[in-house]
Structure 1
């Protein structure tokens, strides 16, 4: 598995950033990887929309960022464990908080946070705010992450958003050319080809799933998709995971295992003859 420590997930409004962040975090946790999911959006804190019955005990990401100093211990105290998982936790602003709830913090604090997070978990998934130009934490994640997934919804508003926003990421440090672009929440009737061509072609897609939509509405995103109609989404998610976390060595190893499985029945058949 690739040594990707920080994955930033960013996109236009309503493109499914939080949904994908949770699904990727879940998949990593299933592989016994320790994961901290950072919900960076201070405009609409997400924790109580995805874990509404979880007690937070003043475990606010905003309080952490505005504290005099941060340490591994203080980060762990603010982490909210996800129920029914052993190695997945969340850092988030809390319900009702906003940009004025806490004191301002600087870029050095963001850098400190990500450096410390790298020592606390195998992977850090950052659910970024669409309005990164007003959010220092999301902007820092786009700059400091090992990989950025850029979600694009297949509609004309996405084109308008990116035409306005991408020029703000023109500096080399944001490495926009290496973003993994994903067309998200795709329905058959949507003009995905038009949108894809507008962005120079998009190889990765995530189809619309009715079951996934129900999970969003019922705050059950940390559950696995089991409906047969969600198989397409699950396969696309796994393909994206392979792209993100599995390198050539892993791919070769998987191919060798496949070859070995194919050879064993053949040899047995030959011996019986």
Structure 2
């Protein structure tokens, strides 16, 4: 298996999984890392809330998982490149999808998808479904991930969710030592210390930012953030990256950034968008 980092983002509903995934992807893309995002939630597809303008051209993750066989070329065909962020591509369920629209798949198929994904990008981010019983891909991602960002929020439903899933998390296959506990969307006045104790220790805190809430409401999560509160939030995102990426991987990113500045003609430094476009016309009928 490739040593490309696989990072899973998981937590209770409303904990900010998709938001955190997108901001992580943007921060990694700024470091010239090619990022592939897998949005696993079929109960509430998030791709159209991230890229509403691209909804018509999107292919569904459910359809991809239902194919007779999986290949790298198929993954490239289903990946949706982001024009505004050329180092990011996304695969997820599309608007109108339901959990019953596609054939069920087994563990082997989920492992194949994640294995192939590791060969297509520098970093794979998996935006997991909260309810693992409804999504085998999220469950397998939590098992295979090099790092799991386990998001919590300062509210009772997060505590109830954590209590319900605690017996599951003790299973050795989930390797809890690789989990990074994150307290997300923390507002001024909330007792984050008390929640941290209940959740067994919080390693990173991501504060509530008004601008983030507005971006979410307006489907503009790919926009940049600004302001004092945003700086604190982005510092938290950088901390997560430092915890997740091995030092040698960060050195590769730095060397890639340096080479891109000195030689823009080098084909080995093509960004993910151009790489995807080299495949897509042949499969979509847009060229020869």
TM-score grouping bracket, smaller chain normalisation: 0.7 to 0.9
CA offsets 1:60-100 (integer angstroms, 9 cap, x no match): 10000011111001111100111222221100001010111
Whole-angstrom distance in 2 between the partners of 1:228 and 1:169: 36
Residue of structure 1 in register with 2:258 after alignment: none
> Number of aligned pairs?
250
8 A contact 1:42–1:97 mirrored in 2:
yes
Residue of structure 2 in register with 1:203 after alignment: 203
SS of match in other structure, 1:8: strand
Work out which of the two has the higher radius of gyration on C-alpha atoms and give 1 or 2. 1
Residue of structure 2 in register with 1:145 after alignment: 145
Residue of structure 2 in register with 1:106 after alignment: 106
| 1:58-207 correspondence to structure 2 within 5 Å | 58-207=58-207
Whole-angstrom distance in 1 between the partners of 2:16 and 2:189: 18
Residue of structure 2 in register with 1:37 after alignment: 37
Whole-angstrom distance in 1 between the partners of 2:130 and 2:235: 26
Residue of structure 1 in register with 2:222 after alignment: 222
Larger mean CA deviation between 131-140 and 170-179 belongs to 170-179
Whole-angstrom distance in 2 between the partners of 1:164 and 1:209: 29
Whole-angstrom distance in 1 between the partners of 2:249 and 2:112: 32
Residue of structure 2 in register with 1:234 after alignment: 234
SS of match in other structure, 1:173: helix
Whole-angstrom distance in 1 between the partners of 2:134 and 2:167: 15
Q: TM-score, normalised by structure 2?
A: 0.83
Whole-angstrom distance in 2 between the partners of 1:119 and 1:56: 27
Whole-angstrom distance in 1 between the partners of 2:71 and 2:4: 22
Whole-angstrom distance in 2 between the partners of 1:56 and 1:246: 37
SS of match in other structure, 1:53: helix
Whole-angstrom distance in 2 between the partners of 1:101 and 1:74: 20
Q: TM-score, normalised by structure 1?
A: 0.87
SS of match in other structure, 1:236: helix
What is the Cα deviation at residue 14 of structure 1?
A: 0.3
SS of match in other structure, 1:54: helix
SS of match in other structure, 1:158: helix
What is the Cα deviation at residue 58 of structure 1?
A: 4.8
Unaligned runs of 5+ in 2: 255-288
Larger mean CA deviation between 241-250 and 90-99 belongs to 241-250
8 A contact 1:37–1:91 mirrored in 2:
yes
What is the Cα deviation at residue 229 of structure 1?
A: 3.1
8 A contact 2:6–2:123 mirrored in 1:
yes
SS of match in other structure, 2:10: strand
Whole-angstrom distance in 2 between the partners of 1:249 and 1:174: 23
What is the Cα deviation at residue 133 of structure 1?
A: 2.1
Instruction: Give RMSD over aligned pairs.
Output: 1.8
Q: Deviating runs (4+, > 4 A) in structure 1?
A: 248-251
